[in-house]
Amino acid sequence: MLPDLQFAMPEPGITGLVDILAVAFLIYQLVLIVRGTRAAQILTGIVAVAAVYQVAVLANLEVLRSLLASLIPLVPIALIVLFQSEVRRTLGRMGRRQLFGGYQRPESTDEILLALESMSRDKMGALIVLERDTGLRTFIESGVPLDSRVARDLLLAIFLPPGPMHDGAVIIRKDRIAAAACFLPLSVNPNISSKMGTRHRAAIGITEETDCLALVVSEETGAISMALRGVLERNVTKAQLDRKINEHFGVWKGSFNEVAEAQTDVLQPTPEPITEPAE
């Protein structure tokens, strides 16, 4: 028989305070890991099952308690299977993040923004992935290796149809174009519209598995979207893109007035529809 779920109160004093702060930090990190992902719903379900188990113990509901107790040994295995991508991403972040100094703004940001602005104006479909902590070597090897400096003209040439590489994704690693025409996993989230284009599904899919930032240009409307942590944001402006890239890598330059003025600098004038035709 499994013991009831009980927690001991920490002893008063400095040791107890450190204990409480450590637990609070772990809970906060857990929330950051699952925030905005499907894992958040799964974690909510697990907490609900634990609450029902406690109610069954307090109310002496032996049949319900026995049924839930038989499922509890399977929880660790289920957590490993269901949260494997989140665990992998978190361990990668812990192992690769710099101890001092944090991250630096990518020098290629301006070139990327100029390329996106031009592709949006010409309705040139594109998918650009910015690597952060989680390595994208598997996806880089699926494409054409380049290892070249990021330049607006090169990005435009890659995505110019009917070129052989315009349908794939470009992966940028440390201010270098690592590869083009890369294959990315498509999201299988059932909440995504079936009419959404392949590029947008790929952008969501790669950000569900890694901590990268994906930028998409719609071939139908020219609208620019960005995906992060499995969430797609549509119709973003140049200022929003610049700020998101800087925030994604841990820095942000510019005053509040500069940000407010840049909000009017829209990359594309045509609103994007709710559903995206397949591309």
Of 176, 268, 248, 169, the C-alpha closest to 216 is 169
The pLDDT, as a whole number, for residue 39 is: 64
Instruction: Output the average pLDDT for the chain.
Output: 77
CATH topology of domain 109-262: YojJ-like (1 (3.40.1700)
d(CA 90, CA 87): 5
The angle at the Cα of 237, spanning 233 to 241, to the nearest 5 degrees, equals: 70
**What is the pTM (predicted TM-score) of this model?**
0.59
- pLDDT tens for 59-112 read 888 888 888 888 778 777 777 776 666 666 566 555 544 444 445 566 788 899
Domain boundaries for CATH 3.40.1700.10 within the chain: 109-262
Q: What is the DSSP letter of 147?
A: E
Query: Percent of the chain beyond pLDDT 70?
Result: 73
On whether the CB atoms of residues 152 and 124 are closer than 8 A, the answer is no
- pLDDT tens for 103-126 read 556 678 889 999 999 999 999 999
**What is the token pair recorded at 30?**
């857990």
Residues of the chain short of pLDDT 70, as ranges, are 1-12, 32-41, 82-106, 251-279
